[in-house]
Amino acid sequence: MLVVRPIEKTDYPALRVCAEESGHGFTSLPVNEELLTNRINHSVDSFTKGGVTEPEGETYLMVGVDTETGEVAGTTAIESSVGLDLPFYTYHISTIVHSSKRLGVHNKVQVLTLGNNYTGCSEVCTLFLRPSFRGGLNGKLMSLCRFLMIAEHPQRFSETVFAEMRGVSDEEGNSPFWQWLQQHFFSIDFTMADYLTGIGKKGFIADLMPKLPIYVNLLSPEAQAVIGQVHEKTIPALKLLEKEGFTCRNYIDIFDAGPTVECDVKNIHSARDSFRAKVRVSEHSSSQDYLIINTSFEHFRGTAAKAAYDQEDGTVILAQDVADALEVADDDPVRILAL
């Protein structure tokens, strides 16, 4: 059974393994001991911070743990509000028209404009599941448990949630989009730019990024072709978010041009359709799968398991091992979502 819980300081070795296995373009997990340690410490502080009435830049980093072996299977996270300490940049794709009635010319041209439009919004991020654990309900658990957390503790998050999707790059980490920017505005390769962003050194963006909108038709054909496209390994994650109601509003990543997708919390299917139930611990024969989280924040636990829901009395029957994994007992509340 896989259980999602807040990361602990002792999880650093496992987090580093995830960072190494995640590969190029996974900005939120750079292979850097200081950054990973700081991210763990910030998350620990965020989970134990009481009296939160609005998002103030907290990081909630979690790990999925195999209850049988204790092995960390992957990571998942929520940034409560981005751009408050360090600027959060995106490109917005818009259309302008060059028209002349006298010449009979009417051309629509796409342009990329640098901005900070997601400042203050919550971001779901750092979703990585190690290859040996991919399959079954593990992927859904790691992704969707975040939306149940948001539904249970809405005061800690913004009304809009977004996710950056990894853009197209090759096995060596080369991005066609970045190669064009590098040629004309930068002198560092994509992996270095991505790494510097991951460790919080974003000053070079404001220093070197073109200040005026970029005409898309002036980019190389290779760069134009990957705008708004996702890395092949990111397609399942994108499809899952799209089923949740997320959509791209023409914002893309400034390095690899991967799409940014967003959704209002009230329209996220898993958050909207989940509900509370009272626990009854007992054996059952139900074949219905549920995503289940406890209602604690500091001691958050989430898992996917078979359960039996009784609508009449609002109870959910959990097997003993599931209740133990969630750290709940009879009459405790949980939030559940039928899968």
pLDDT of residue 208: 67
State residue 196's pLDDT score: 67
- Catalytic annotation present for 231: yes
Q: Which is it for strands 315-318 and 275-281: parallel, antiparallel or unpaired?
A: parallel
Amino acid at 4: V
Q: What is the pLDDT of residue 283?
A: 95
Catalytic residue among 184, 231, 269, 299: 231
pLDDT, residue 320, reads 98
Residue closest to 327 by CA, chosen among 298, 306, 307:
298
Neighbouring residues of 116: CB distance < 8 A, sequence distance ≥ 6: 83, 87, 88, 89, 90
In the chain, alpha helices (H)? 12-22, 33-48, 138-152, 176-184, 190-198, 203-208, 221-225, 235-243, 269-273, 320-326
pLDDT at site 82: 95
Radius of gyration of the chain (CA): 22
Which residue, 338, 303, 336, is CA-closest to 322? 303
Written as six digits, the tokens of 67 are 């209850």
pTM, 2 dp: 0.91
Beta bridge partners of 202: none
Domains of the chain (ranges; CATH) run 2-90+115-270 (3.40.630.30), 274-338 (2.40.40.20)
Output the six-digit token pair for 5: 């819980």
Q: Which residues have CB under 8 Å from 126's CB, separation 6+? A: 28, 29, 61, 75, 76, 77
Mean pLDDT by 10 residues, the chain (339 residues): 98 95 76 90 96 96 97 98 90 92 89 95 95 94 98 98 93 84 74 65 67 91 96 92 97 93 98 98 97 98 98 96 98 98
